[in-house]
Chain A
Amino acid sequence: MLGLDKKDWTLLLIVAVLALAAPFILNPFPAGSELAQFNAGYPDLMQRFAIFGIFAIGFNILFGLTGYLSFGHAAFLGVGSYSAVWMFKLLSMNVVPAILLSMVVAALFSLLIGFVSLRRSGIYFSILTLAFAQMSFNLAYSVLTPITNGETGLQLTLDDPRILGASATADGSIPVTNLFGLEMRSTFELEIGAWLFQFNAGYYLCAVIMLLAFYAAMRIFRSPFGIMLRAVKSNQQRMTYTGLNPRPYTLAAFVISGMYAGLAGGLMASMDPLAGAERMQWTASGEVVLMTILGGAGTLLGPVLGAGFIKYFENIFSKINDNVLHGWFSFLPDGLEDLLVSIVHPFVGKGWHLTLGILFMLVVIFLPGGLIEGGQRIVRLFRKKKAPRGEDADHHPKETPHVAE
Chain B
Amino acid sequence: MSNSKFTRRGVLKTGAVTGAGLALPTIFTASSASAFTNEPTGASVTLGFNVPQTGPYADEGADELRAYELAVEHLNGGGDGGMMNTFSSKALQGNGILGKKVEYVTGDTQTKSDAARASAKSMIEKDGAIMITGGSSSGVAVAVQGLCQEAGVIFMAGLTHSNDTTGKDKKANGFRHFFNAYMSGAALAPVLAKMYGNDRKAYHLTADYTWGWTQEESIVAATEALGWTTVNTVKTPLAQTDFSAYITPILQTDADVLVLNHYGGNMVNSLTNAVQFGLRDRIVNGKQFEIVVPLYSRLMARGAGENVKGIFGSTNWHWSLQDAGSQAFVKSFGTKYGFPPSQAAHTCYVQTLLYADAVERAGSFNPCAVAEALEGYDFDGLGNGPTHYRAADHQCFKDVLVVRGKENPTSEFDLLEVVEVTPRAQVEYAPDHPMFAGGSLGTCNPGA
Contacts and interface: CB of A to CB of B under 8 A. Distances in A.
A183 B164 CA distance: 28
A13 B147 CA distance: 35
A121 interface: no
B148 to A, nearest CB: 12
B142 A45 contact: no
B39 to A, nearest CB: 12
A174 interface: yes
Chain A contact residues, majority secondary structure: mixed
Given A1-B14, A349-B53, A204 B28 contact: yes
B238 interface: yes
Interface stretch (B188-196, B323-331, B405-413, B435-443): B435-443
A329 interface: no
Contacts of B432: none
A151 B139 contact: yes
Nearest to A352: B108
A239 B149 CA distance: 57
Contact of B121 (A44, A172, A173, A323): A44
A74 to B, nearest CB: 11
B278 interface: no
B248 interface: no
A157 interface: yes
B139 A189 contact: no
Contact of B122 (A32, A145, A315): A315
Interface string A33-61: 00000010011110010000000000000
Given A42-B125, A141-B208, A315-B122, A16 B17 contact: yes
Contacts, number: 160
A174 B150 contact: yes
Nearest to A43: B125
Given A150-B208, A158-B439, A274-B143, A204 B24 contact: yes
Nearest to B126: A42
Given A45-B122, A45-B126, A172-B442, A188 B21 contact: no
A152 interface: yes
Contacts of A153: 113-114, 139, 143
Given A1-B14, A16-B17, A272-B117, A155 B439 contact: no
A204 to B, nearest CB: 4
B10 interface: yes
Interface in A285-301: none
Contact of B29 (A145, A186, A279): A186
B106 interface: yes
A402 to B, nearest CB: 28
B25 interface: yes
Nearest to A141: B237
Interface string B183-206: 000000000000000000000000
B405 to A, nearest CB: 28
A187 B108 CA distance: 25
Interface string B106-119: 11100011110111
B4 A152 contact: no
Given A152-B210, A274-B113, A274-B146, A319 B107 contact: yes
Q: How large is the interface on B (under 10, 10 to 19, 20 to 34, 35 or more residues)?
A: 35 or more
B31 interface: yes
Contacts of B25: 179, 182, 201, 204-205, 208
A265 B151 CA distance: 21
A20 B112 contact: no
B32 interface: yes
B54 interface: yes
A187 B31 contact: yes
A152 B53 CA distance: 19
Contacts of B439: 157-158
Contact of A278 (B114, B125, B146): B114
A20 B146 contact: no
Nearest to A311: B118
A176 interface: yes
A200 B25 CA distance: 8
Kindly name the residue among A45, A187, A319 whose own CB sees the greatest number of chain B CB atoms within 10 A.
A319
B126 A172 contact: no
A96 interface: no
A187 B34 CA distance: 13
Contacts of A39: 126
Interface in A192-248: 198-201, 204-205, 208, 211
A179 to B, nearest CB: 8
A273 to B, nearest CB: 9
B112 A350 contact: no
Contact of B443 (A159, A172, A204): A172
Given A151-B209, A173-B442, A318-B108, A272 B142 contact: no
B35 interface: no
A345 interface: no
A373 B169 CA distance: 49
A188 B142 contact: no
A350 B139 contact: no
Contacts of A342: none
A142 B27 contact: no
Nearest to A200: B28
A319 B122 contact: yes
B375 to A, nearest CB: 15
B206 to A, nearest CB: 11
A158 B30 CA distance: 27
B118 A48 contact: yes
Interface string B159-182: 000001000110010000000000
24 contacts: A2-B4, A16-B21, A20-B21, A39-B126, A43-B125, A44-B118, A44-B122, A151-B113, A153-B114, A158-B439, A159-B438, A173-B443, A187-B28, A187-B125, A272-B121, A272-B147, A274-B117, A278-B112, A315-B118, A315-B122, A319-B107, A319-B119, A349-B106, A350-B108
Given A42-B122, A185-B151, 6 more contacts: A20-B20, A153-B143, A204-B28, A272-B117, A315-B118, A349-B108
**3 cross-chain pairs, A with B, having the tightest CB-CB distances, nearest first:** A151-B209, A188-B28, A199-B28
